[in-house]
Structure 1
Amino acid sequence: MTEPLFNWLNHRASGVLLHPTSLPGDYGIGTLNDHCIDFIDFLAHAGFKYWQICPLGPTGFGDSPYQSFSSFAGNPYLISLRELHAKDLLDKQILEDLSSLPQSFVDYGALYNTKWPVLDAVYEAFVNSGKKIRPYGSFTAFKKRHQKWLEPFAYFQTLKKHFDGKPWYQWPKEYLYFEKARKGPLRKELERDVDAQKFFQYLFYGQWGKIRDHAKLRNIQIIGDIPIFVALDSADVWQNQQFFQLNPETGEPIAVAGCPPDYFSKDGQLWGNPLYDWSALKADGYTWWIDRLKAIFEMHDVVRIDHFLGFDSYWKIPYGSKTARKGKWINGPGIDFFKAVKKKIKNCKLIAEDLGKLTDSVRKLRIDTGLPGMSILQFAFGGEGNNYYLPHNLNSNTVLYPGTHDNDTSLGWYNTVDEKTQDRVRRYFEVSGDNIGWDLIRASYKSVANLAIIPMQDLMSLGSEARFNTPGEAQGNWQWRYQAEQLKSLKGGTSDYLRTLAQLYYREGAPAVNADKD
């Protein structure tokens, strides 16, 4: 039997799923501040070894971290303003003005109107001071190091604002292509704003670097997330149109991504992302994809690839379609892509999000790559005992979740499913169902899956009011935040119990015994 390309999940451990926007704080959104440090300390004390997050990129309309303006940039909303005040770059009165933003959820509209002017004022203060920000390092050196993606991204963001927020393919023709646009008269005219966008990235990377250092100190590895597809209206596509299936005259897609009709959706799902020109990417040695992965591995220890199925085959929908009904399956790059990645990236720790309808070819691709797949306990109780997600059907090379960012909390899920499903859950785990959230947590720890990831909401025994995202609903997502008191209440008895579970079920990061290689 041929050895798999990757075989990194050879130990048992547990982790917590929490996006940084959900951290507590005074200024409208979770940021990279002391609350983030406090959360990492909690993870370490409770015996966790991993912290999983959603993509960190800058978001646009809809606020989804899975529809970002860049695969390489960070979200400036996550920048800690309190830290900038401590560095004399921000007046205390401005912080007090921002304290009117809600603390219990993220109001993205209010945040957009308030935080950007504050960050702009910080840039002015920095330029006027002429000082280096310790410990972020040299701004000049940062710009030089990240020039390949930073210049296109900063110019993209500035042009987008200049053209009243329109997507790049609706800009004047002379600005439809990055290489041509950078030679246009607006580049010099907008120099100050372009530099400010670069400065925001400098702040983000500087603060994220401090968080990464603290996580390493506490022996916590961070699991990042990378969508297989990128947003059409992004610096990624604007700069690299040759690698996407686009109309060369207009920049609009020829076809878009989605998935066909199924049991859950009679019209399928129309995502609207542009499709890759995999032949062009292959001819270039998959350089853009490898650069993308290298960049995210600089910021994380492990990376989950969202929609792994698309590397095997993808649903191609003609551009302009109203639903995803009309389309056809097209072969993806398959194992060839992962062989190229293996050659270029050492110690490449990927997780395959292989949820959904798994064909034999998808299963083979995951086995050949050796990447751990995913299993969701909330999906395990439909059908019979052969359900793929039931714990007795799992293998060790798996990341098991009670639910993910797209699911309801365990408590919310159990309270809304039908009585037949509830009965199956109770009988399977031999529990009363009175404390179902912790029943699923214990089941995750007990399972053969080498890695168990628990949503923060489940640790706090929260219901549907704490759901982070509901797929298919355009409003009200990505807003949930916890309060500092809620984390404090987990310290002591709960964190001690979690550490005991980690010890009891051998989830302390040590090599697994007789780990299979599926």
Structure 2
Amino acid sequence: MEHSTRPTELPRAAGILAHPTSLPGAYGIGTFGREARDFVDLLVLSRQRIWQMCPLGPTGYGDSPYQCFSALAGNPLLIDVEQLVHDGLLAEHDLHSLTGFPTGHVDFGPVIEAKMQVLRLAADTFFAKLGDPSTDVTAARFRRFCRDNAFWLDDYTLFMVLKAEFGGSAWSEWPDEQLRMHEPQAVAAARERLQDEIRLHQFLQYIFFEQWLDLRAYANRSGIEIVGDMPIFVAYDSAEAWAKPELFLFDEHHQPTSVAGVPPDYFSATGQLWGNPLYDWEYHEKTEFAWWIEIIRHKLAMFDYLRIDHFRGFSAYWAVPFGDTTAERGEWQPARGRQLFRRIREVLGTPPILAEDLGFITDDVRRLKHEFGFPGMKILQFGFDSGQEMVNEFLPHNYEANCIAYTGTHDNDTLVGWLESAKPADRELAYEYLHSDGTRPHWDFIRGIYSSPAAFAIVPLQDILGLGKEARMNTPGTLGGNWDWRFTQDMLKPDILQQLARLSELYGRI
């Protein structure tokens, strides 16, 4: 996979934010299958040019795509099982156990159990059919994939197999101390002993990336570019934290000395305690940021643009003492983002990085963003919150051209939900500013960002559909009931597509 070298300067375009798990489909969760291609076709019909999504990694406890078992692996739940039938790896009757799930949300627990059983059947067939890599094209591609991605795939696959062997527990709780501490001899012995299960996870990653790159190519051929997403931190229960403790601020027992979060803010009065391990920036600088270079190179091969979540953490990060139950006692600690991005430019050119620059943003963060020309984010909902000091920054007449404007994000309530719970003064201000009579306010908000100077105008699908708080994707600081929203094909009616297309034409975003 070749990485992109496009400049970060953005063209004027419109797009939709929708995670693939939210797509329609018969098998419990959205995938990279025909419904994803149908969605691309709908983007084309509505004169959109951008599809933005959340991270695509394998999710852990809480099902959050921002807390993954790996910084580089893909989520097997997104694999299209109908394509596996087409490829001869499954029979039609193998899919019966995946039917009967809800269509309006993802029931993650049962879906994961049922889908993994089906994917295991496909893997068994795949390896039974696999031939000589010198003559079999599929065998050669599979082995080349494993070889080219060994720098992360070897650790990840063993990590996932060991997690299963130890009942799904976090690696920090594994009873075998030598494996827990990633002792080389114990790891080598486990790799030898567990070869068959390791192959299953190699297969899942191979299929994930084959299907993803096919979908991305389809989107690009249709004139649709993909904005991918990358969390700045990795999860503590991840292959990287287990296999590469030198990357992080760990003690001699591989426990964090402090963990990531953010101080009290708009979303939470006690801050957000994420619990991610923090980077040993001194180590990364000594290695010329080699690990980061591999991560960014890999992501740029997957997406047309890469949004990095919590960009302010490259300037300074909120370090919370390990063991605290809230993020209130954290302290700001300096990071080495400037040195990192200089090195990235030396190796990768000018990568198309977008900065999630929300939250507590200080002058040093702004200087870092502007020095490297990374477009930032503007959230229209924030423009009408009288409790925010920087309310004007989020009003469209103040947007600079090289930024991305949103009605809201995956962490916000939907527009309709926000309007229902907003202070009356804030709601009236929004209606006055947007010349809205309140009958179809979500369209007035969409028009507000489409008509702004912002290069990209991106709207969560829930806001395009005018849905209420029941369709909210995530409520920060909470567990349960997040990330599970799905839409059905009949929701995107022709008049909605026509309205979007007209706004894109009217405001020069086609």
TM-score bucket of the superposed structures, by smaller chain:
over 0.9
- For structure 2, list consecutive stretches of 5 or more residues without a partner in the other structure: none
- Preserved CA contact (<8 Å) 2:382 2:391: no
The corresponding residue for 1:513 is: none
Residues 369-398 of structure 1, C-alpha deviations (whole Å, 9 max, x = no match): 211010101111123896211112211111
Shift of 1:170: 2.2
Question: Partner of 1:101: helix, strand, or coil?
Answer: coil
Give the Cα–Cα distance (whole angstroms) in 2 for the partners of residues 181 and 169 of structure 1: 19
The corresponding residue for 2:205 is: 201
**Between the two proteins, what is the percent identity of the paired residues?**
41
Q: CA 1:129–1:412 in structure 2 vs 1: closer, same or farther (change >3 Å)? A: same
- Preserved CA contact (<8 Å) 1:28 1:103: yes
Which of 248, 251, 256 is the matching residue for 1:253?
256
Which of 175, 179, 195 is the matching residue for 1:175?
179
- Preserved CA contact (<8 Å) 2:21 2:31: yes
The corresponding residue for 1:389 is: 394
Give the Cα–Cα distance (whole angstroms) in 1 for the partners of residues 290 and 224 of structure 2: 30
The corresponding residue for 1:43 is: 43
Query: What amino acid is aligned across from residue 48 of structure 2 in structure 1?
Result: F
Question: Partner of 1:109: helix, strand, or coil?
Answer: helix
The corresponding residue for 1:329 is: 332
Q: How does 1:424-435 map to 2 (within 5 A)?
A: 424-435=429-440
Shift of 1:181: 5.6
Residues 443-473 of structure 1, C-alpha deviations (whole Å, 9 max, x = no match): 1110011111011112222111211111112
The reply to whether residue 166 of structure 1 matches residue 169 of structure 2 is yes
Q: CA 1:137–1:410 in structure 2 vs 1: closer, same or farther (change >3 Å)? A: farther
Question: Partner of 1:36: helix, strand, or coil?
Answer: helix
Give the Cα–Cα distance (whole angstroms) in 1 for the partners of residues 357 and 194 of structure 2: 43
The corresponding residue for 1:292 is: 295
Give the Cα–Cα distance (whole angstroms) in 1 for the partners of residues 151 and 286 of structure 2: 20
The reply to whether residue 94 of structure 1 matches residue 94 of structure 2 is yes
- Preserved CA contact (<8 Å) 2:69 2:237: yes
Q: How does 1:36-435 map to 2 (within 5 A)?
A: 36-130=36-130, 138-171=141-174, 172-178=176-182, 180=184, 183-248=187-252, 250-262=253-265, 265-383=268-386, 387-435=392-440
Which of 487, 498, 501 is the matching residue for 2:500?
498
Aligned Cα root-mean-square deviation (Å): 2.0
- Preserved CA contact (<8 Å) 1:174 1:184: no
Give the Cα–Cα distance (whole angstroms) in 1 for the partners of residues 186 and 433 of structure 2: 61
Query: Deviation above 6 Å: which 4+ runs of structure 1?
Result: 132-137
The corresponding residue for 1:437 is: 442
Question: Partner of 2:146: helix, strand, or coil?
Answer: helix
Give the Cα–Cα distance (whole angstroms) in 1 for the partners of residues 139 and 24 of structure 2: 24
Shift of 1:347: 4.3
Question: Partner of 1:388: helix, strand, or coil?
Answer: helix
Shift of 1:6: 9.4
Give the Cα–Cα distance (whole angstroms) in 1 for the partners of residues 119 and 6 of structure 2: 42
Shift of 1:281: 0.3
Question: Partner of 1:21: helix, strand, or coil?
Answer: helix
Give the Cα–Cα distance (whole angstroms) in 2 for the partners of residues 279 and 11 of structure 1: 37
Query: What amino acid is aligned across from residue 189 of structure 1 in structure 2?
Result: R
Residues 288-324 of structure 1, C-alpha deviations (whole Å, 9 max, x = no match): 1111111111111101110011111111111111222
- Preserved CA contact (<8 Å) 2:97 2:114: no
Question: Partner of 1:378: helix, strand, or coil?
Answer: helix
Question: Partner of 1:138: helix, strand, or coil?
Answer: helix
Query: What amino acid is aligned across from residue 456 of structure 1 in structure 2?
Result: L
- Preserved CA contact (<8 Å) 1:373 1:399: yes
Residues 25-64 of structure 1, C-alpha deviations (whole Å, 9 max, x = no match): 0111001100000101111221111100000000011000
Query: What amino acid is aligned across from residue 326 of structure 1 in structure 2?
Result: R
Q: State how many pairs are aligned.
A: 500
Q: CA 1:158–1:468 in structure 2 vs 1: closer, same or farther (change >3 Å)? A: same
Give the Cα–Cα distance (whole angstroms) in 1 for the partners of residues 219 and 337 of structure 2: 34
- Preserved CA contact (<8 Å) 1:377 1:402: yes
TM norm structure 2: 0.94
The reply to whether residue 13 of structure 1 matches residue 47 of structure 2 is no
The corresponding residue for 1:486 is: 491
